[in-house]
């Protein structure tokens, strides 16, 4: 993947999951390219998932969020991002939260979105290509 890559929440979560080492390695490889972008939504969802699903302590969750924040460019979710997400959800039939990820990626000119569970190869708005980093 070249250019700016926007990471979906599940990619960030795999950085801290010991259950699937191959996916963890793929997520780490994306981060190490030094062109990864996340939104404040991704950081919030990461914190929620690590705390609730993995039952990690607040200190560990805070450290994980800080690591992702420091390794990636972080973009805020703005009111215009929300408006665009609603339009994208209607047009592409993704959930609102997936569409919010799409809108954030588009707002900063990302070429690639790296999710696990969206349509691999789909091009959004003529400029953002969905690429599953796990090859599915």
Tens of pLDDT along the chain (136 residues) come to 458 999 999 999 999 988 899 999 999 999 999 899 999 999 999 999 999 999 999 999 999 999 999 999 999 999 999 999 999 999 999 999 999 999 999 999 999 999 999 999 999 999 999 999 998 6
pTM for this model (two decimals): 0.94
Structural domain contains residue 96: yes
**Which range of residues forms the domain containing residue 41?**
5-130
CATH number at residue 12: 3.40.50.1010
What angle in degrees, to the nearest 10, is found between the helix axes of 40-52 and 96-107? 140
Q: Give me the number of domains the chain comprises.
A: 1
Structural domain contains residue 113: yes
Structural domain contains residue 136: no
Structural domain contains residue 110: yes
- Torsion, Cα of 20, 23, 29, 31 (10° steps): -90
Structural domain contains residue 135: no
What's the residue count for the chain? 136
């Amino acid at each position: 993947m070249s250019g700016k890559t926007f990471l979906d929440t599940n990619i960030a979560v795999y950085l801290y999951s010991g259950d699937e080492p191959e996916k963890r390695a793929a997520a780490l490889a994306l981060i190490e390219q030094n062109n990864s972008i996340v939104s404040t939504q991704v950081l919030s969802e990461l914190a929620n998932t690590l705390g609730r699903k993995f039952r990690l302590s607040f200190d560990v969750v805070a450290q994980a969020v800080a690591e992702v924040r420091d390794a990636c460019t972080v973009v805020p979710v703005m009111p215009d991002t929300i408006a665009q997400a609603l339009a994208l959800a209607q047009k592409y039939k993704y959930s609102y939260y997936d569409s919010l990820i799409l809108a954030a990626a588009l707002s900063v000119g990302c070429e690639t979105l790296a999710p696990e569970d969206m349509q691999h190869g789909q091009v959004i708005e003529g400029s953002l290509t969905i690429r599953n980093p796990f090859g599915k």
